[in-house]
Amino acid sequence: MRGISGRILRVNLSSGVASSESLPVDVWRNWLGGRGLATWLWSKENPLHLDPLSPQAKIYFAVSPLVGTLTPGIGKAAAVFKSPLTGGIFVSLCGGDIGSAIKFSGWDVIVIEGRSDKPVVLLIDDERVSIRDASSTWGMEVTEADRALRSMLGEDSVAVVAGPAGEKLVRFASLHSGRGREFGRGGIGAIFGSKNLKGFAIRGGGRVSIADSQKLEALTIEAYQRMEESEKAQIRRRWGTPELVATINELGFWPTRNFSEGYFEEGSKIDAGAIEKSVLIAHRSCFSCPIRCGKVIRYSHPDGSSVELEGPEFESLSLLGPNLGLGSIEKIAEASRLCDELGVDTISMGGVIGFVIEAGKKGKLPIELKAGLNLEFGDEKTVFKLIQMTALKEGALGEKMAMGSRAFAEELGCEELSMDVKGLGIPAYDPRGIKGLGLNYATSASGASHMRGPTMPIEIGENTRLDDRDKVPMVISVQVNMAVADSVCLCSTARVGINIHQLAQFLYAVTGESWTAGRLEEIGKNILTLERKINIREGFSEVDDTLPLRMLSEPFKKGASAGSVVNLEPMKKEYYRLMGWDEKGVPPLEDK
């Protein structure tokens, strides 16, 4: 099979040994690469009931045959690990340059295992790998750490770093690459922290073997054309993901004040038009993608200086904005920047702050925990302070917030105030306004991730978002489609230019082997089932396939999504049935 090297780099931080292994080509035929391949490998190499932060835990970074080729929109690398936040299998994807750097260095997968007894960094220069002392970088914020690691290898290298939050094992700490791309969710940063690994820097000078160059070229030019003609792509090109603000707010399911409401009265001050008019200065793209959805702003830092920032993306803007009652781009941008620099997932961070404020207002927080803070929605000083306290585990409140909203809520006996599924904070679409997405939140192995099953364009576009009937086949189809996209490292947005049939053609042109949309869908379904099996072995059950009580039983009182809750149980039953699982959501036990 062309397009792959077939080689894994295995780095053991306990022994300090880096070794090269090869995998049979059938593994790519069955699992594609990226999320599929890494999940399969994880399932083969990790024992049950592992502590995710132990030396035995392994983390996998995987790319695909299409990475580093002309194929547009192949801008991701996939990371698979057991999440310290959810306790289940987790996949996180990062855009920017990291996927291509891994591919050009000649590795299809990088596995990191063990634990170093001192802070180290991993340097990968094609096949030359070294583990280097990194005590000077420990404690560095993300931008400084990125610069430091890249200076060790060269300005053409790409780094992936943990921030101080990862070092402190915050359960939703993130990893950062370049000047604005992350492996955001699931606590991946804490995995690095637990291994005393500040990060890795990588560069590669190799080439990707292509089966049919001419075919690849023709397919690429057609895909560029489709992206240019796609209305959705052009909207993202101009405004980025904040283009969603106006739509979701008007439709009344925009998370407002800890998901207590669906409409934020200050929405028009922080929508894409407002950003474009006041702070937008430039645009950025991920490797290989012409859409250019990244947006750069310049705003005033509280200390008066001028700051450039790529972002805030829709999710960050929402969970740190209306969810916390903040209606100013500068305040939200600064909150997002703090999360980025300290190295925490903006969605989970916004979720736990929202929880703490609501819990505080409802008298659920003991006085000594409140730390003298003004726990009200709309106070950015409180938000900035809580981000810092949580990321650095300062004080009892910081320590508890760093566990994530679910664990903290369980300790306080107010689980109903934590907006999460399986511990992962709910993203910027309240499921009371978009029921199919609610089913996706409830059933995905990751917990509440919109990216496992982004049904939004369909449910909004076809105006079926408030229906809970006839939803299940569509949700499964979207989840399957994303499992495939995540395995070839195709960005979700770029799918407007490459559908699953076109993807099969790209795979043929690169690998020289025949693929069909049907076979890709079968692989996607296998990936979902494998993730399910892993989670069941780890102790998950249908009880965990749920939504917060608020979304099951308390309708919004006003707005365009008022009067509706998620009628989850019938959808779940049908979901299990269509996936071929039993009525408790357990897949058949045949070996894979």
Partner 1 sequence: MKINVEDNKCSGCQICVLWCLHRHDGFRRLARIHIIEKESLVGRSVQVCRQCEERYCVEACPVEAIVVDDGTGASRVDASACTGCGECAQACPYGAVRIVDSIAVICDLCGGNPACVKYCPEKVLTIS
Provide the binding-site residues for partner 1, judged by CB under 8 A: 68-70, 72, 97, 100, 104, 155-156, 178-180, 204-208, 210, 213, 216-217, 224, 281-290, 292, 294, 296, 308-310
Considering beta carbons, is residue 72 or 262 the nearer one to partner 1?
Answer: 72
Look at residues 81, 94, 77 and name the one whose alpha carbon lies nearest to residue 178: 94
Closest to partner 1 by CB, 296 or 586: 296
Q: What's the rounded Cα separation, in Å, for the pair 160 and 155?
A: 14
Q: Identify whether the C-beta of residue 559 lies closer than 8 Å to the C-beta of residue 252.
A: yes
Q: What is the smallest separation between the CB atom of 211 and partner 1, expressed in angstroms? A: 13
CA–CA separation, 368 and 397 (whole Å): 9
Q: For residue 173, give the DSSP letter.
A: B
Could you tell me the smallest distance in angstroms from the CB atom of residue 196 to partner 1? Answer: 28
Our CB check for partner 1 shows the closer of 120 and 280 to be 280
Min dist CB 290 to partner 1, Å, is 4
What does the alpha-carbon distance between residue 67 and residue 69 come to, in Å, rounded to a whole number? 6
Burial 50-73, CB ≥16 within 10 A → b, else e: eebbebebbbbbbbbbbbbbbbbb
Q: CB of residue 352 vs partner 1: minimum separation in angstroms?
A: 29
| Nearest distance from C-beta of residue 444 to partner 1, angstroms | 30
**Shortest spacing between CB 69 and partner 1, in angstroms:** 7
Residue 283 Cβ, how far from partner 1 at the closest point, in Å? 5
SS (H, E, C) 295-309: EEEEEECCCCCEEEE
Cβ–Cβ under 8 Å, residues 250 and 32: no
The whole-angstrom separation of Cα 408 and Cα 396 is 11
Q: Which is nearer to partner 1, 21 or 217 (CB)?
A: 217
Query: Cα(263)–Cα(450) distance, rounded to whole angstroms?
Result: 19
Got the DSSP string for 187-228?
THHHHHHHTTEEEEEEE-------S-HHHHHHHHHHHHHHHH
Query: Closest approach of Cβ 37 to partner 1, in Å?
Result: 22
CB count within 10 Å of CB 164 equals 24
Nearer to partner 1, 95 or 163 (CB): 95
Q: Least distance (Å) from partner 1 to the CB of residue 123?
A: 17
Q: What distance lies between CA 198 and its chain's CA centroid?
A: 20
The C-alpha atoms of residue 352 and residue 405 are separated, in whole angstroms, by: 5
CB 109 to partner 1: min, Å = 19
Nearer CB in complex with partner 1: 390/511 = 511
Beta bridge partners of 70: none
Cβ at position 510, least distance to partner 1 in Å: 12
CB closer to partner 1 out of 179 and 269: 179
The beta strands (E) that lie in 242-340 are given as 280-284, 294-300, 306-310
SS3 for 157? coil
Of 227 and 419, nearer to partner 1 (C-beta) is 227
Residue 254 CA to residue 153 CA, distance in Å, equals: 43
The residue among 84 and 294 lying less far from partner 1, judged by its C-beta, is 294
Residue closer to partner 1 (CB basis): 70 or 445: 70
The single-letter code of the amino acid at 250 is E
Torsion angle, alpha carbons of 193, 197, 199, 204, to 10: -150
Least distance in angstroms from the C-beta of 295 to partner 1: 10
Q: How many CA atoms lie within 13 A of 281 on its CB side?
A: 10
> CB of 319: closest distance to partner 1 in angstroms?
23
Nearer to partner 1, 84 or 180 (CB): 180
CA distance 260 to 262: 7
Which one, 40 or 508, has the nearer CB to partner 1?
Answer: 508
Nearest CB to partner 1, comparing residues 254 and 287: 287
Give Cα 444 distance to the centre of its chain.
13
Going edge to edge, which strands form the sheet with 158-162? Answer: 128-133, 120-125, 197-203, 158-162, 175-177, 181-183
Nearer to partner 1, 245 or 309 (CB): 309
Query: How many alpha carbons lie under 13 Å from residue 279 in its C-beta half-sphere?
Result: 28
Which of 123, 13, 3 lies closest to 57 in space, CA to CA? 13
Cβ of residue 132: shortest distance to partner 1, in angstroms?
22
